[in-house]
Amino acid sequence: MRVLKFGGTSVGSVENIEKTIAIVANQAAQSPVAVVVSALGGVTDLLLRAGALAAKKEESYKDILKEISQKHISFTDTLTGGDQEILKAITLQMSHLEDLLKGIYLINELSPKTLDKLAAYGELTSSYIIAAAFKHKSIDASLKDSRELIITDANHTKAGVLYEITNQNITTYFAEKKAKITVLGGFIARTEAGDTSTLGRGGSDFTAAIIAAALDVEQLEIWTDVSGMFSANPKLVKQAKPIRDISYHEAMELSHFGAKVLYPPTIVPALSKNIPIYIKNTMAPDEAGTRIGEQEGSNGNPIKGISHISDVALLTLEGAGMVGISGISKRLFEVLSLQQINVILITQASSEHSICIGVMEADALRAKTAIETEFAYELSLRKIDPVIVETSLAIIALVGESMKSHQGISGKMFSTLGKNNVNIRAIAQGASEKNISAVIAEKDVKKALNSLHEVFFEGNRKQINLFVTGVGNVGAKLLEQINNQKQYLKEHLNLNIRVLGLSNSRKMLVSQDPIDLNNWEAQLDGGEKADILRFRESVINLNQRNSVFVDITANEPVAMAYEEYLRNSIAVVACNKIAAAGKQEYYANLKRLSRKYNAPFKFETNVGAGLPIIDTLQNLIASGDRITKVQAVLSGSLNFVFNNFKSGGSFYDVVQQAKEEGYTEPDPRIDLSGVDVARKILILARESGLELELEDIVNTPFLTKNNLESTDVPHFFETLKEDAAHFEKLVADATADGKRLKYVAQLDNGKASVGLQSVGSDSPFYNLEGSDNIVLFYTARYPEQPLIVKGAGAGGDVTASGLFSDIIRLR
Ligand code: ADP
Ligand code: ASP
Ligand code: MG
């Protein structure tokens, strides 16, 4: 014989009830089955809500009653082909329910005993309707009221089962009746005095296990809306997978720690008779599901699952008077037990100075009052402080029986949480090491579950979540490159890059789900009005692991927003030079925050676009080298200008062309005055370990005073014409000496400078083409022959790929 239990969703629609019937009929062809059913999906919640409203004298309970009645009548009508007799019986049940609610309304009170009577309507009617549906399909099924079998104590709403009499009732009934299919309502029972009781929310699973154990059946099947017990709640962790095999103890830990798919007490009766429990999906019956049995599963992973409990409060009892005094914890737990307050987590520091306990938030105030009453004397003497209550917390737990023989799991757990900026309030690990729990803020639950799942179950596949600001030319190219490389990164680097946020100067969009990079423009257009700080707030609130803010603007307010990103452990990847080349203090603070909050701050594209210049420099320093000198040509725009400006030509025309072709900043003075190059050498100097400001860079201008004092861009161009002779002389002098003009940045002996130089054919700069950049690093290890990085130093594609490399380096 088998016992099959179908949960609320499995009997939540006519279509699913048809599926349920098919599954049962199929199994009954082989051996007799007991079918335990929950209330029609959502009905228990509705009943309790109606009761609460009625008790508060709110007439609106009638609306809910109407909803419940209509649901039952419409289900009955469809499933029995409008069978009048059955419809009459259900209508009668509903009028009894109406009377009960009216009674609650009149007396303005809802006791636990009445609550049970009320909640029981769900299973009483669902079992009645489902049994009738079997008959309507000419499948022989008998209906049994579970209250006649399962007897409990009078602890209403979560009654304790009296096993002796219950087991006897069950064995006697099934021995006598011998039906092929027996339909029973889950959850409901009866006290010895004959009152209706219930087994606690989710208790239909338990009913099924009680019957299974009493009859010592071959297997117990829990049919639900997911394909098994998952490595984490599939509603919160998309990557979660069903666990094929799991031990009773592991399943018990997981369900205790919030894996709602199985009501925790269910395991006990099954375990006592060693009956395997299968968790199966009514909507996908062919999927394997989970087998819970005696032996632990052998998937090679010491962790079986990760779960969490929400709405937890932490209570801390502390005081100097607790040290070395025996009996404090005894009194503490005794008083909580007397109040029937369930303690779900305990930690005590070895100093004995404080004890910290976790309880459900709903019990927190009651617990505080009870404890403070118990310790009133010690409180009055100030030996113990008032109980501290912290709320809005959750417990997350790693579960697995073989964790005990593996080292480093808790280390990995806590470092993963730490890296993702999840603050841990308390930790508990049972001596059996089946479970490691941590108390964290409720708001961090999803992030914590997903980061832990990634580390322990996804073969270290890392998800990186990008929030990109500035999606002009370079930004668009970056998104295109990411879109093209997505699959490759997954397969070869185990990296899953997702874009969750976009912003340009007009619009912004931040979303929980990845933005489709095939049509991001349209989605962004439909976004809300852009705002730098609101964008940041949304990114922080979204609270995703491995978040990265990508700044592809040249905008100062955006650069000033980095600190708060870093403080929230959100990495910053910037193309924008303003932060790294701004005030030394700001730069140093960003570096400090980056270290403190474990959030990388990367800006490779600040110097030489996609060329690995900063990365090379950082690697040299990290590996113990020392920079002695840097010589570089770092301006693609100035290179373009001086490569194209020949004696006899017009400097004005060349600059005009450079601007038109996008080689210069919109204001070419930023390039031609040397400011842009000065910023770049400043960044290299800082990365070499120097503390410098932009003003410390010696900048010898090649522009005339007249050019430099121009009032705006058109005026500047005018002055270029006016001073044509000056530029002609510069180039003619160089050419006469067989030299070429290059704009060179230099760092030597702690001093940085930028300026135009005439270089001879023996210089590595002499043959520099187009917009190429070159950097020569002279270091302790490369004293004579410098380490050279050379290549295209400007352009949308290479800049985007530099940003992309920075993102990939975050792995
Ligand atoms: P039923 O109505 O069938 O009893 P429940 O809602 O009680 O179903 O339990 C199934 C739900 O449990 C799933 O839909 C899922 O949201 C939740 N759940 C939480 N943790 C887990 C987990 N680790 N594995 C599977 N389901 C889980
Ligand atoms: N109907 C009850 C509840 O919703 C019992 C169950 O479904 O397991 O809690
Ligand atoms: Mg359930």
Helix (H, G, I), strand (E, B) or coil at 616: helix
Tokens encoding 586: 């700001």
User: Buried b vs exposed e over 671-702: b needs ≥16 C-beta within 10 Å?
Assistant: bbbbbbbbbbbbbbbbbbebebebebbebeeb
Going by C-beta distance under 8 Å and a sequence separation of 6 or more, which residues neighbour residue 382?
319, 321
Return the bridge partners of 572, or none: 549, 601
Residue 204 Cβ inside 6 Å of ligand 2? The answer reads yes
pLDDT value of position 352: 66
Residue 158 Cβ inside 6 Å of ligand 2? The answer reads no
Give the pLDDT band of residue 615 (cuts 50, 70, 90).
very high
At residue 550's C-alpha, the angle toward residues 545 and 552, to 5°, is 170
Hey, which of 204, 206, 223, 261 would you mutate to test ligand 2's pocket, going by the most ligand atoms within 8 Å of its Cβ?
A: 204
State how far the Cα of 687 lies from the Cα of 210, in Å rounded to an integer: 69
Extended beta strands in 370-412, E state: 388-399
Residue 716 Cβ inside 6 Å of ligand 2? The answer reads no
12-16, 163-167, 425-429, 579-583: least confidently modelled range: 425-429
Ligand index nearest the alpha carbon of residue 222: 1
pLDDT value of position 334: 93
**pLDDT > 80? residue 38:** yes
Distance 256 CA to ligand 1 centre (A): 13
What number of residues does the chain have? 811
Average pLDDT over residues 472-487: 94
Hey, which of 226, 227, 395 would you mutate to test ligand 1's pocket, going by the most ligand atoms within 8 Å of its Cβ?
A: 226
Which residue in 620, 621, 606, 599 sits closest to 682, CA to CA? 606
Specify the CATH superfamily of domain 305-457.
VC0802-like (3.30.2130.10)
Alpha helices in 744-809 (DSSP H): 796-808
Tokens encoding 546: 């491995």
Longest dimension (CA), the chain: 117
Which residue in 526, 750, 553, 768 sits closest to 642, CA to CA? 768
Give the pLDDT band of residue 694 (cuts 50, 70, 90).
very high
State how far the Cα of 91 lies from the Cα of 85, in Å rounded to an integer: 10
Q: Which residue has the higher pLDDT, 208 or 643?
A: 208
**pLDDT > 80? residue 431:** no
Ligand 1 atom closest to the Cα of residue 223 is 3
pLDDT value of position 350: 62
Consecutive H or E run containing 540: helix 532-542
Tokens encoding 606: 């600040």
State how far the Cα of 351 lies from the Cα of 341, in Å rounded to an integer: 26
**pLDDT > 70? residue 500:** yes
Going by C-beta distance under 8 Å and a sequence separation of 6 or more, which residues neighbour residue 431?
none
Give the pLDDT band of residue 760 (cuts 50, 70, 90).
very high
| Closest Cα to atom 5 of ligand 2 | 202
Going by C-beta distance under 8 Å and a sequence separation of 6 or more, which residues neighbour residue 439?
312, 314, 345, 358, 393, 394, 395, 424, 425, 426, 427
Consecutive H or E run containing 222: strand 219-224
Going by C-beta distance under 8 Å and a sequence separation of 6 or more, which residues neighbour residue 374?
331, 332, 335
State how far the Cα of 700 lies from the Cα of 740, in Å rounded to an integer: 18
| Closest Cα to atom 5 of ligand 1 | 261
pLDDT value of position 104: 97
Specify the CATH superfamily of domain 613-794.
Dihydrodipicolinate Reductase; domain 2 (3.30.360.10)
Give the pLDDT band of residue 432 (cuts 50, 70, 90).
low
pLDDT tens-digit readout, 395-425: 999 999 888 778 888 889 999 998 888 999 8
Quick one: how far is CA 223 from the chain centroid? 28
Tokens encoding 140: 């022989």
Residue intervals in the chain for CATH 3.40.50.720: 462-600
201 within 8 A of 44, measured Cβ to Cβ? yes
809 within 8 A of 636, measured Cβ to Cβ? no
The matching CATH number, chosen from 3.40.50.720, 1.10.287.1770, 3.40.50.261, 3.40.50.970, for 462-600 is: 3.40.50.720
pLDDT value of position 430: 66
Neighbouring CB atoms inside 10 A of 506's CB total 10
Q: What is the dihedral of CA 62, 64, 66, 67, to 10 degrees?
A: 170
**pLDDT > 80? residue 459:** no
Return the bridge partners of 3, or none: 34, 220
State how far the Cα of 357 lies from the Cα of 179, in Å rounded to an integer: 50
pLDDT tens-digit readout, 222-237: 999 999 999 999 999 9
Tokens encoding 129: 């309707």
Which residues form the pocket of ligand 1, taking CB atoms under 6 Å from any ligand atom? 7-10, 38, 202, 224-226, 229-230, 232-235, 259-261, 305, 307
Return the bridge partners of 314, or none: 358, 390
Residue intervals in the chain for CATH 3.30.2130.10: 305-457
Going by C-beta distance under 8 Å and a sequence separation of 6 or more, which residues neighbour residue 772?
633, 636, 639, 790, 791, 792, 793
pLDDT value of position 348: 76
Going by C-beta distance under 8 Å and a sequence separation of 6 or more, which residues neighbour residue 133?
17, 21, 79, 80
What is the assigned CATH class of domain 2-41+124-225? alpha beta
Hey, which of 43, 243, 261 would you mutate to test ligand 1's pocket, going by the most ligand atoms within 8 Å of its Cβ?
A: 261
- The type of residue at 591 is K
pTM above 0.85, yes or no: no
Helix %, strand %, coil % for the chain, to 5?
45, 20, 35
pLDDT value of position 351: 63
> pLDDT over 90 for what percent of the chain?
84
Average pLDDT over residues 258-263: 93
**pLDDT > 70? residue 296:** no
State how far the Cα of 569 lies from the Cα of 567, in Å rounded to an integer: 5
Distance 397 CA to ligand 2 centre (A): 24
Distance 343 CA to ligand 3 centre (A): 22
Give the pLDDT band of residue 319 (cuts 50, 70, 90).
confident
State how far the Cα of 313 lies from the Cα of 394, in Å rounded to an integer: 8
pLDDT value of position 297: 57
**pLDDT > 80? residue 162:** yes
pLDDT tens-digit readout, 543-556: 999 999 999 999 99
